Structure 1
Amino acid sequence: MSTRPAVTLRARTDADLDALYSIATDLDTWEERNPGRPAVPPRTAWEERLTAREADPGSNRSFVIDVAGEAVGNVGLFEIDEVARHAEVGIALIPSARGKGIGTEAMRQILEFGFVRGNLRRVHLEVIASNAAAIRSYEKAGFVVEGRQREHAWVRGRYEDIVRMGLLRDEWRENRAAD
C-alpha cells in the first residue's frame, strides 16, 4: 500500500498569492491550464478577478492545495450545474510539486468533496492530448475518456486534440471501494 502525500485543501490566504500568481503566469504550462491565447495578466488585475470570483462563488468552488503549510497549487470545481448535478474540475501545481503524487491526492480530495459534500452526479475535465502525465493521473483517479475534439487547441505552434474525460459518482464509489 502506497502512502499518500500529506495534502490538504483549504481556503486561500494572502500569503498564497505569490505561489498562485506564479502558476497563473507560467507560460510553459499555459495551454495545459487555459484554452485561450497565452497572456500574462497584470498582478493587480489578476488579484481583482480572483477576489471577485471568491466573493461570489456561485457555480465555482476553489481551494488551495497545501503541503506542509505551503501553497503548491489550486484545484476547483466550476460551472457547477445545480439541476443536472455536474461540474468541471481543474487543477494546477507549481513546477516543484509535479510528479510527486500531490496532484493525484488533491484530485482525490476534490472528487470526494464534489460527490459527497456537493452531491454531484458527474465531474468532467478537458486536457490537451499531449499531456500524457495528466491523462494518466486522471485515469488513476477514475476518469475515462469520453471523447475528443480533433485539432481543437493551438498549442506551441501546432493544433492538438482536446481529450474530454468524465467520472460518474457510481464509478467513483466503485473505484474508492477497490482502493
Structure 2
Amino acid sequence: MKTIIIEKNKNYFKRIAIMLLMIFVLCGLVNFLCYPSEHTYFLLPTKNTVIIFSIVGIITCALVIFLLLKSIFRKDVFLRIDEQGIFNGFFLYTKKLIKWEEISKIETIKYNYNNYIAIFLKETPNNEKGISSLFFKMNEKSMGTPYIITSGDLDCSFDELERLILEGYNQSKQIKN
C-alpha cells in the first residue's frame, strides 16, 4: 500500500471571515457587559441575565477565535493514509493515528447537511482532557463515534477522500486475511 498524504486547504477566507465576525460579536458582548442596564429587553429582562449572557458569549467567542487561529497557524496538519492506518492531524484529540486493526467499520454519514466519514473503533475510551473531552463526548453522542473526517479543511473533494480511505481500509483487510 502506498502512502497518501492530503495537505490542508490553503484557502483561509472562510476562517478569517468567521474570525472577523466573532471579533465583531465579541465587541458587542463587551459593550453589553459594560452597560447591562442599557441592554435589557424582553429576551434579557434583568441586568443579571444580560451579564450572564455576555460572559457566556465572550467565553464562546474567545474559544472559537482560539480554535480558528490554531487551525490557521498549525503547520503539522495533514491527513496520511498508509499501511499503519489513518493519521489525522486535524483531530483535536491526542489519538491522531487510527490503526487499521482498531477499526470495526467505516461509514459515510450525512449530518446537518454535511458529509462525514465516520470511523467506528472496536473500543473508544475517552482519554481526553478539557475541551477535547467535551468535543469527544459531543461527537460520540451526536454521530455515534468521535472519530469523524470531513473534506472541508482538506485539499481534496469529499468523494476523493472517501475513495482513498475506503481503498486503504479494504487493502488492509485483504493483507490481514
User: Normalising to structure 1: TM-score of the pair?
Assistant: 0.26
Q: Greater relative contact order (Cα 8 A, min sep 6): structure 1 or 2?
A: 2
Q: Give the helix-richer structure, 1 or 2.
A: 2
Q: Give the strand-richer structure, 1 or 2.
A: 1
